[in-house]
């Protein structure tokens, strides 16, 4: 199969976010632990990674979809050769350790830079980004493990590029993690034996690495029910001796590969522990706090899913844009009855322009949301990390933003991809263009690492509910400051007015939902997704307004390509405020009039 270079990156917009709007060269690079970086170095890193992504990493995109994975009788998964070459190229480049701290042999990049880099990789081929998850697992062990566990795993994992996976889901439990039945039996010290079956495990096995380290949730003998009874264990494919060397094959085997709709090159596995031979693992740390520990991994994965959604929509939009500039069909609508009128490129048609701008403002708005969230993660680390008292409010803001990045971006990207495909007409539906694969690859993002409604419940019942809305109120306060400063001047007065109205409507939505909760918690079930979208769209409207204000300040002194870029920023803000933010008015009415009638309908009436 010949390599197909499909990926269209938007490095210009990534730079705009990082250096012109967020100004990480001042806010991040002037502080430890990131003072070893500067803007020029970061641009060079991202530029080199972008080139790698658009050549060697995206070269395996088609093969990942069309060359089946192979599972042998010994639980080993073989990847397509093209995908193995991309994995190797990523590993050899060293960019897979971009966010690994310098003390562990990595580059020590802040989250804002590492998530920008992950957008490039996941846009080129998300499977490659997933197979590099071992570095994340190593960092989690470094954070949570005992000194002995760190010495045994972290350095070998990073130096040799071992794989890694998070192992939660079980066939009968699904999203109800607390219903997990996998068992753990103590052997000696921190060594335990794991028994049970897990399902939908990304990176359960793959070739091209010497070892794969799984973080597994299981219930110790005698532990109570629910998530509180779970513990987390380090379970390697090959046992790791105390000196870090590899020992015998461990009893964690892949027993099936899921046949999937999309991202087929990413091995999604059923894993059976302790059936053929004992599956030994090490209890992470010194306490039984499995679900709290696993959330360090889950939150990383949720952020990654949201960023991957941004990447997929962005490249699809750029394909649609390029096609509409080339495809000539039909006359201008004003001359539709004139048989002699010249045919025009379809970007000249009003409906096509509407579809393009909807994609543009959502792709760029969601990128702004993801990188703003990443910049908050920068500030958390600068303040001393998640355990530091100085980082408490920042950490709470990051927690609030994560369900927006994961839940909203994954849903909206899937919706917008239908417009990307629509712009290509019938050509978009066939494999001559990559968008039909984008659509199939994207749908999973709304499902795993917590479905969209789980994200909505997390946002409303945990993130907003636990502090009485204080963190969300502080975020809305930031929006209020932008409005009070009249950023963008007279040129954005209408947009500020519309954003201000959206904030008022969002506050009314939240107040109405709180009132409904006095009747029944079921109203969150009925309206949660709408409220999640309302919060996300308000925040994105604010971020696009900030971008437009920056663009207006730079436009006149810019060269022509940059003037066009800045004009596009202003246009995206105006279109979003005019065409997206008004949806909050409808959401307000729907929440205010929320009824439980649907819940009393007999099942057979559906």
Residue 163 has pLDDT above 80, yes or no: yes
What are the respective helix, strand and coil percentages of the chain, to the nearest 5? 60, 10, 25
Say how far apart CA 136 and CA 134 lie, in whole Å. 5
Would you call 599 exposed, middle or buried from its count of C-beta atoms within 10 A (0-12, 13-18, 19+)?
exposed
Residue 530 has pLDDT above 50, yes or no: yes
| Structural domain spans, the chain | 11-132, 162-288, 290-333+340-450, 468-594
Helix (H, G, I), strand (E, B) or coil at 202: strand
Catalytic residue list contains 449: yes
Helix (H, G, I), strand (E, B) or coil at 514: helix
List pLDDT tens digits, range 252-263: 999 999 999 999
- Decide if 433 contacts 319 (C-beta within 8 A): yes
Q: CATH 1.10.3470: does it fit domain 11-132?
A: no
Write phi, then psi, for 145 (nearest 5 degrees).
-80, 170
Residue 305 has pLDDT above 50, yes or no: yes
Residue 406 has pLDDT above 90, yes or no: yes
- Residue among 20, 49, 175 nearest 109 (CA): 49
**pLDDT of the residue at 155:** 93
Percent of the chain clearing pLDDT 70 (strictly above):
99
Say how far apart CA 149 and CA 161 lie, in whole Å. 17
- Decide if 80 contacts 265 (C-beta within 8 A): yes
Percent of the chain clearing pLDDT 90 (strictly above):
91
Segment 69-74 shows an average pLDDT of 96
Q: CATH 1.20.140.10: does it fit domain 290-333+340-450?
A: yes
Say how far apart CA 135 and CA 201 lie, in whole Å. 17
Segment 279-289 shows an average pLDDT of 92
Residue 534 has pLDDT above 70, yes or no: yes
**pLDDT of the residue at 2:** 41
- For the chain, the residue count is 606
- Decide if 55 contacts 5 (C-beta within 8 A): yes
Segment 577-600 shows an average pLDDT of 97
**Residue 189: pLDDT band with limits 50, 70, 90:** very high
**pLDDT of the residue at 1:** 34
Q: Which residues contact 521 (CB under 8 A, 6 or more apart)?
A: none
- Residue among 106, 95, 86 nearest 158 (CA): 106
Segment 104-112 shows an average pLDDT of 97
SS (H, E, C) 343-354: CCEHHHCHHHHH
Segment 415-426 shows an average pLDDT of 98
**pLDDT of the residue at 387:** 78
Say how far apart CA 261 and CA 67 lie, in whole Å. 14
Residue 340 has pLDDT above 70, yes or no: yes
Q: What tokens were used for 532?
A: 């999640």
pTM score of the predicted model: 0.96
Say how far apart CA 194 and CA 186 lie, in whole Å. 9
Segment 270-283 shows an average pLDDT of 96
List pLDDT tens digits, range 26-71: 999 999 999 999 999 999 999 999 999 999 999 999 999 999 999 9
Give me the catalytic one of 82, 364, 436, 449: 449
Segment 218-246 shows an average pLDDT of 92
Strand partners of residue 188: 191
Residue 179 has pLDDT above 80, yes or no: no
- Decide if 368 contacts 544 (C-beta within 8 A): yes
Residue 343 has pLDDT above 50, yes or no: yes
Segment 142-160 shows an average pLDDT of 95
How is domain 162-288 classified at the architecture level of CATH? Beta Barrel (2.40)
**Residue 251: pLDDT band with limits 50, 70, 90:** very high
List pLDDT tens digits, range 75-88: 999 999 999 999 99
Segment 585-596 shows an average pLDDT of 97
């Amino acid at each position: 199969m010949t390599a197909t270079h499909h990926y269209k990156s938007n490095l210009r917009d990534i730079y705009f976010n990082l250096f012109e709007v967020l100004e990480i060269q001042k806010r991040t690079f002037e502080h430890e632990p990131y003072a070893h970086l500067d803007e020029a170095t970061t641009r060079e890193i991202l530029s080199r990674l972008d080139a790698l992504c658009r050549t060697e990493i995206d070269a395996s995109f088609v093969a990942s979809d069309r060359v089946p994975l192979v599972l042998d009788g010994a639980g080993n998964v073989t990847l397509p050769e093209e995908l193995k070459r991309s994995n190797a190229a990523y590993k050899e480049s060293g960019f897979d350790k971009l966010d690994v701290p310098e003390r562990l042999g990595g580059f020590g990049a802040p989250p804002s830079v590492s998530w920008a880099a992950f957008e490039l990789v996941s846009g080129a081929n998300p499977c490659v980004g997933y197979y590099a998850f071992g570095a994340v697992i190593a960092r989690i062990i470094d954070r949570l493990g005992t000194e002995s566990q760190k010495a045994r795993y972290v350095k070998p994992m990073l130096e040799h590029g071992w794989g890694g996976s998070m192992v939660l889901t079980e066939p009968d439990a699904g999203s109800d993690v607390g219903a997990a039945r996998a068992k753990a039996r103590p052997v000696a010290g921190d060594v335990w034996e794991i028994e049970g079956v897990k399902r939908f495990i990304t990176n359960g096995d793959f070739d091209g690495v010497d070892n794969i380290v799984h973080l597994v949730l299981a219930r110790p003998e005698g532990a109570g029910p629910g998530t509180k009874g779970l513990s987390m264990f380090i379970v390697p494919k090959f046992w790791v001796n105390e000196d870090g060397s590899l020992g015998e094959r461990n009893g964690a085997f892949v027993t099936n590969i899921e046949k999937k709709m999309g991202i087929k090159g990413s091995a999604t596995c059923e894993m059976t522990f302790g059936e053929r031979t004992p599956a030994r693992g090490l209890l992470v740390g010194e306490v039984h706090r499995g679900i709290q520990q696993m959330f360090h991994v889950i939150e990383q994965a949720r952020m990654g899913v949201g960023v991957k959604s941004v990447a997929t929509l962005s490249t699809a939009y750029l394909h649609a844009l390029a096609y509409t500039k080339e495809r000539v069909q039909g006359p201008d609508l004003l001359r539709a009855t004139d048989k002699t009128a010249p045919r025009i490129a379809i970007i000249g048609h009003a409906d096509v322009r509407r579809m393009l701008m909807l994609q543009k403002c959502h792709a760029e708005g969601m990128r702004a949301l993801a990188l703003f969230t990443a910049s908050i993660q920068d500030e958390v680390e600068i303040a001393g990390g998640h355990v530091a008292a100085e980082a408490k409010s920042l950490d709470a803001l990051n927690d609030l933003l994560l369900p927006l990045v994961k839940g909203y971006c994954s849903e909206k990207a899937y919706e917008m991809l239908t417009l990307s495909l629509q712009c290509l007409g019938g050509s978009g539906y066939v494999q001559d263009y990559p968008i039909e694969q984008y659509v199939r690859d994207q749908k999973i993002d709304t499902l795993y690492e917590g479905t969209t409604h789980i994200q909505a419940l997390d946002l409303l019942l945990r993130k907003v509910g636990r502090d009485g809305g204080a963190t969300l109120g502080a975020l809305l306060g930031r929006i209020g400051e932008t409005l009070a400063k009249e950023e963008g001047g007279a040129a954005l007065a209408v947009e500020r007015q519309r954003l201000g109205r959206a904030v008022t409507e969002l506050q009314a939505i939240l107040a109405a939902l709180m009132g409904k909760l006095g009747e029944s918690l079921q109203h969150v079930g009925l309206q949660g997704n709408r409220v999640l979208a309302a919060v996300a769209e308000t925040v994105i409207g604010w971020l696009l307004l900030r971008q437009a204000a920056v663009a207006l300040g730079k436009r006149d002194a810019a060269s022509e390509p940059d003037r066009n870029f800045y004009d596009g920023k202003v246009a995206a803000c105006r279109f979003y405020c005019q065409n997206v933010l008004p949806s909050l008015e409808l959401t307000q009415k729907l929440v205010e009039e929320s009824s439980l009638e649907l819940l009393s309908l007999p099942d057979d009436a559906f």
